[in-house]
Amino acid sequence: MIIKKMKNKLKKPALFAIAAFIIFAGAGVLIFYRYSKKPVYNFVAVKQGEIIQEVTATGTTKPSESIMLGFEKNGIIKNVFVSAGDKVKSGQVLAELDSSELKDNFIQAKAELTAEKAKLDSLKRGFRLEEIQIAKTAFEKAQQDLVNDYAGSSDIIRDAYVKTEDAVRNQISQLISFPDINPQLTFSVYDTQIANDIPVKRQKAGAALNSLKNELAGIGAAPTQDELNQLIFNSIIHLSTVLDLLNRLMDALASAVNLSSANLTAYQTSVTAARTTVNTVITNINSRQQKIASQKITVRQSQDELNLKLAGSSAEELRTQEALVEKSEANINSIKTQIAKTVLRSPIDGIITKQEAKTGENSGANSPLITIISERNFEIEANIPEIDIGKIKLGDPVKIVFDAFPSEIFSEKISYIDPAETIIDGIVDYKIKIFLDRPDSRIKSGLTAGLAIETQKKSDVLILPQSAIIEKDSGDFVKIFKNNKEEESSVVLGIRGQNGDIEIISGLNNGQEVINIGVKIKE
């Protein structure tokens, strides 16, 4: 029993030692196996081929032409011939302004041109005796009309004197006492300045009437035109002095004190009648003065016409008349242009998308009234990030896929690159456009289009997958297996293709294998 117990005691430690030995031995074998096994790599060979660099973007279709139209001048809209949604042709009239006044001016301008051409023809051929006699007769008539105008002027002034004297000495006699000695108002007024002004103005009015009377008396039976001119001029000044008195009397009545309503009304009626009389005679004299001035111009013109015919045409006169003909022709062309501006025409074939012109309304110059988009020609507009815009140039090929029909690929080219930036949410983009030259009735404004812009294409270049490239701050590298170990080798990269390839400019040879570090191998 004792021996058996001792055997059992010795047996347990031995078992533990054996187990520990087995575990450590297994671990050692495992470690040896792992570290002695060669690693397995995924290799990829450098190949020679074609690589295409692309920039992708999303754009939207819009009409290649969208035009807002308005009249170039102000005017009343006379007719509107289209509505929103109508199809129109280039040159079609859309609306027009009222041009009746311009058309009248055009007719008058044509008549003036005809007259100027007739004068030019007359100058070129010279004047007949009959024409000279007609010009002479016209001149003599103009002279006689002027004499008659002057002759009637003294009668008008005499009539003015008689009526004005009656207005001053009779119609307002109840308002002013002792008019010729010490004139005073016959009623009281609040305004002392008015009370002081009336006597002075009455004396001036009396003196003016006396002067006019004496000047009329001094006119002989056959006064000269200069004497009559002076009489007309003086009479207007004298009568204006009387009118000044009457206006001040109306101020006095407005400031009257303790004057009965009946007397006030009667006085106001008398002064108003007197003012009307004096205003009327002044107007008559002014009208005669203007008529004389106008007739003097007529006399000069008719005299010039006669002298022209008597003297014959000089080279200078011919050139002057030719210039007048050209001026008339230019005036006609100007009116034609103005008339053309009253008609609003479509500059393109298209569809009316907006129409705000209304008959009878006043249209301001260049106010947009009608918008037209081209019916078939569309373009795609897209924004390219700042980082990619340097890769794109005009004429780059573009593959287009519309969301509306994704199974079809359209091919076009970059048509426009905006030189100025477009900032959207603080990000700098640049706008590009692709014109769609191929007509397609399915294409409409507002369609979304995916764009693949081919910015560069190279053939017969060395290519590797981008997954085999190691990019560091110090440069670009690949891993190669050399002398039973991995080594990094420097490479110079070129363009990157959209399919994951990258151009190898230098550092590797065609067919050379490198480790594709981006592909994991299951062991």
pLDDT one-digit tens code per residue, 386-421 = 888 888 888 889 988 989 888 888 888 887 898 888
Q: What is the pLDDT of residue 312?
A: 67
β-strand pairing of 47-63 with 188-189: unpaired
DSSP three-state, residue 135: helix
- One DSSP character per residue, 37-103 reads SPP---EEE-EEEEEEEEEEEEEEEEES-EEEE--SS-EEEEEE---TT-EE-TT-EEEEE--HHHH
Q: Which of the residue ranges 56-70, 277-291, 432-446 has the most confident prediction, judged by mean pLDDT?
A: 277-291
**What is the helix, strand, coil percentage profile of the chain, to 5?**
45, 30, 25
Q: What is the pLDDT of residue 456?
A: 84
Q: Which of the residue ranges 373-387, 404-418, 507-521 has the most confident prediction, judged by mean pLDDT?
A: 404-418
Lowest mean pLDDT among 219-223, 236-240, 367-371, 438-442: 438-442
Whether the predicted pLDDT of 35 surpasses 60: no
| pLDDT mean across residues, the chain | 83
DSSP three-state, residue 47: strand
Residue with tokens 């004197």: 161
Arithmetic mean of pLDDT, 76-99: 88
Q: What is the pLDDT of residue 279?
A: 92
pLDDT digits (tens, 9 = 90+) for 90-139: 888 989 888 888 888 889 988 988 998 887 777 777 667 777 888 889 88
- The model's confidence at residue 190, banded by pLDDT at 50, 70 and 90, is very high
Lowest mean pLDDT among 39-43, 332-336, 443-447: 39-43
Lowest mean pLDDT among 25-34, 77-86, 236-245, 386-395: 25-34
Domain 127-312 belongs to what topology? Butyryl-CoA Dehydrogenase, subunit A; domain 3 (1.20.140)
Lowest mean pLDDT among 5-14, 138-147, 198-207, 244-253: 5-14
- The model's confidence at residue 10, banded by pLDDT at 50, 70 and 90, is very low
Whether the predicted pLDDT of 191 surpasses 80: yes
DSSP three-state, residue 167: helix
pLDDT digits (tens, 9 = 90+) for 470-490: 888 888 888 888 888 888 888
CA distance 195 to 61: 87
pLDDT digits (tens, 9 = 90+) for 276-294: 999 999 999 899 889 888 9
More confident residue, 124 or 157: 157
Which residues, including other chains, have CB under 8 Å from residue 65's CB and lie 6 or more apart?
348, 350, 372, 373, 374, 377
Whether the predicted pLDDT of 32 surpasses 70: no
CA distances from 242 to 155, 156, 253 (A): 20, 17, 17
Q: What is the pLDDT of residue 43?
A: 86
Domain spans in the chain, listed from the N-terminal domain onward: 1-37, 51-62+377-515, 65-96+342-373, 127-312
Domain 65-96+342-373 belongs to what topology? OB fold (Dihydrolipoamide Acetyltransferase, E2P) (2.40.50)
pLDDT digits (tens, 9 = 90+) for 304-315: 888 877 776 667
More confident residue, 119 or 47: 47
- Which of these, 122, 124, 72, lies nearest to 99 by C-alpha position? 72
Q: What is the pLDDT of residue 325?
A: 87
CA distance 209 to 283: 17
CATH number for the domain running over 51-62+377-515: 2.40.30.170
- Which of these, 245, 243, 144, lies nearest to 185 by C-alpha position? 245
- The model's confidence at residue 23, banded by pLDDT at 50, 70 and 90, is low
Which tokens hold the place of 322?
């030719």
- The model's confidence at residue 1, banded by pLDDT at 50, 70 and 90, is very low
Size of the chain, expressed as the number of residues it contains: 523
pTM value > 0.85: no
